[in-house]
Amino acid sequence: MKKIGVMTSGGDSPGMNAAIRAVVRTAVYHNLEVYGICRGYQGIIEGDMYQMLTTDVSNIIQRGGTILKTARSKEFMTEEGMAKAYEQLQAHGIEGLVLIGGDGTFRGANVFFEKYPIPAVGLPGTIDKDLAGTDFTIGFDTAVNTAMEAIDKIRDTADAHNRIFVVEVMGRDAGYIALNSGIACGAEDILIPELKTDMNTIVQGIRDDRRRKKNVQLIVVAEGDDFGGAVDVQKVLNEQVPEVDVRICVLGHIQRGGSPTFADRVLASRLGFAAVNALRAGIYQVMAGQINGAIVLTPFAEVVKQKANIPTDLQAMTYVLTK
């Protein structure tokens, strides 16, 4: 293998630049040419790629976002789009790929590489931490710390006004950001997609707290919760406990940005290094993850078949600590 490509796809996550840096520097060290592919799968289709040198990745490890940009490509999910992508890879002499992204990235890869024999290794770049095959994903630690810091500030103003705040965090199908930021901030209720939300119990808990003069409550809800987001929760609370001042705060894309934490920089660097070495060793169609501190390679088919599950002991602890 003489030439590889690296790309970021789907939602951006803090630490993607650190991963790109590790891939480029490791590849160049082993005398491989590296091509940066801009805008994910759409960039492959359009041939939007350029050769990267170590100087191209200087001074980026601390930056959020991704210097290669990112996109979600509907065209790539068509037969014609995949054929164009393969033609471009062949035209540029790309013999292997490093894909940095989340669930959608690996689902696309799994379908594409069944049709076209391009070796690839994936890196879990998503703030949601919803992928099997790794304990942590690139960007999760930064995102949950961003959420935690914001919720801490919200608690201050909630306390000043004796209000209830419903804080919505990201997590389309996964509640890891909500669960971890909620635990870290001492939230009174945490609503996540993995567990059924019982609004009657939440309302009763608020009434009980008011009777015992506890006038400040924080409810952290994942955007993908089965009951709905912050607006839906506020509506029910306004109807059921109208005497309580309920405010909402949707943190939104602030959780995607910012300088990556130490944990995300090191994780991204380890996984980028491992991805290049896997390609060199002839190990393909796998995602590089970290489990119990060790680098583990999991086939794409297994990664997309199952999601990371929230441990039952964490669920039990959350139930006790929010009471």
Contact 183, 321 (CB under 8 A): yes
Quote the Cα angle for 79-80-85, to 5°: 100
CA 79, CA 62: separation in Å to the nearest integer?
A: 38
Q: Calculate the alpha carbon distances from 177 to 4, 264, 303 in Å.
A: 33, 15, 20
Segments making up each domain of the chain, as ranges: 3-139+260-305, 141-256
CATH class of the domain whose range is 141-256: alpha beta
Topology annotation, domain 3-139+260-305: Rossmann fold (3.40.50)
What is the average per-residue pLDDT within 262-275? Answer: 98
Q: What pLDDT digit, counting tens, does each position of 174-229 carry?
A: 899 999 999 999 999 999 998 888 999 999 988 988 888 877 789 999 998 888 89
* Residue 43 in this model has a pLDDT that exceeds 90: yes
Topology alike, domains 3-139+260-305 and 141-256: yes
Q: What pLDDT digit, counting tens, does each position of 86-124 carry?
A: 999 999 999 999 999 998 898 888 889 889 989 999 999
What is the average per-residue pLDDT within 242-258? Answer: 93
CA 14, CA 315: separation in Å to the nearest integer?
A: 27
Residue 3's pLDDT band (boundaries 50, 70, 90)? Answer: very high
Measured torsion, CA atoms of residues 228, 234, 239, 244, in degrees rounded to the nearest 10: 150
Catalytic residues: 128
* Residue 17 in this model has a pLDDT that exceeds 90: yes
* Residue 84 in this model has a pLDDT that exceeds 90: yes
Ramachandran assignment for 58, one of left (phi > 0), alpha (psi -120 to 50 degrees), beta (any other): beta
The predicted model scores a pTM of 0.94
What is the average per-residue pLDDT within 228-242? Answer: 93
Which pLDDT value is given to residue 6? 98
